[in-house]
A and B are shown apart, each in its own frame.
Chain A
């Protein structure tokens, strides 16, 4: 069973629709026990970081998400919340990956970074099995995770940033696989079947 975390700051409907298309059984939940018992966890996110972190604390999910042993996939804001902290609302995040989430510089590029952009794979990741280098995905982000030791794929805006992160059972993608056509579905399928 897949746990799809609903904490009031995620595009749960779209991820649900994508999982349904993949014929996957899943449960939309904000319950700590259900999340920890799941085989796979999907942690979506849309909106503002400090608001989202407050929601996680209110639902008592902070520790659970840091300590889960099963594969967990953070999507968009979900991935950013896995970092140490974010400059969006200057908030401490889950601290799974080291580093700070930064804002794109609007004097150098349009913000939000919105639309389809390509990814460059820089290290092996099961998440991208069968996905071609240069494949395009849908992004909608004003903030980004700088390229770091956990980055598995890079996307270029005015600067390079992390399109995906990976460390042990923790996975993150900055783009929206649930909104990225067939390539996006492939990422979700890989997470479910291979990770």
Chain B
């Protein structure tokens, strides 16, 4: 039986892992390669690297970072952040990444999802979608959560799946950094409507939050960052808890 996945997320800025609250107040959390090795040893099922480096010039170092990470670990990993061209995707996959996560670029150019999934397979294309609730609707945000778009959350998720995305990485900006739990209501509706795997992101604070997302929202994977970086919740402890509660885990 297919296992549910635990995915530590590493936000990378200028070659270092950082963590902030609601996309701001960044703190240095360590070296990407060292953290990747640590998580791989601790039993993470997969890793996600999101490059939040501001300048395009510095972002070019991402390919060499991916090469170093790919040498260090034997589990799959996804890379995202500022990827807008098929050639970027090709370079990252060739460097050893298994998937790319696309966010702002696919909002601006929907076709990129289809082109990328045709060329590299849908399993390599993750649609990363950042949502914020405005009191009546979930709106899609881009550019690291700084820019609101006209897109409605659920509509964009369904469209991304239809265009050929292999997975949806759904981040609730309202929950991100709060440690109040994932947006289980939205996730539940989403997983009932799409047939591709969904990764829950934003809000994990306790092991119960993971169970909630797996059990009550049927998420396929749960992503978290600071909980793991600062060792607040060891992956092993989390997985034991989930296993005891009937969630199928790899280890």
Contact = CB atoms under 8 A, between A and B. Distances in A.
Interface string B167-178: 100000000000
Given A112-B122, A142-B123, A118 B1 contact: yes
A185 B3 contact: no
Contact of A117 (B1, B96, B221): B1
Contacts of B11: none
Main secondary structure of the interface of B (DSSP, over half): loop
Contacts of A181: 40, 74-75
A189 B98 CA distance: 22
A106 B195 CA distance: 6
Interface residues of B, number: 35
B94 A110 contact: no
Given A20-B71, A141-B123, A178-B74, A13 B96 contact: yes
Contact of B221 (A17, A115, A136, A176): A115
A184 interface: yes
A112 B123 contact: yes
B131 to A, nearest CB: 21
6 contacts: A11-B98, A17-B71, A112-B122, A113-B2, A114-B166, A156-B1
Closest 3 A-B residue pairs measured CB to CB? A13-B96, A106-B195, A140-B123
Given A112-B196, A117-B3, 13 more contacts: A11-B98, A13-B96, A17-B74, A20-B71, A46-B123, A77-B121, A115-B197, A118-B1, A138-B75, A140-B98, A178-B74, A180-B74, A180-B75
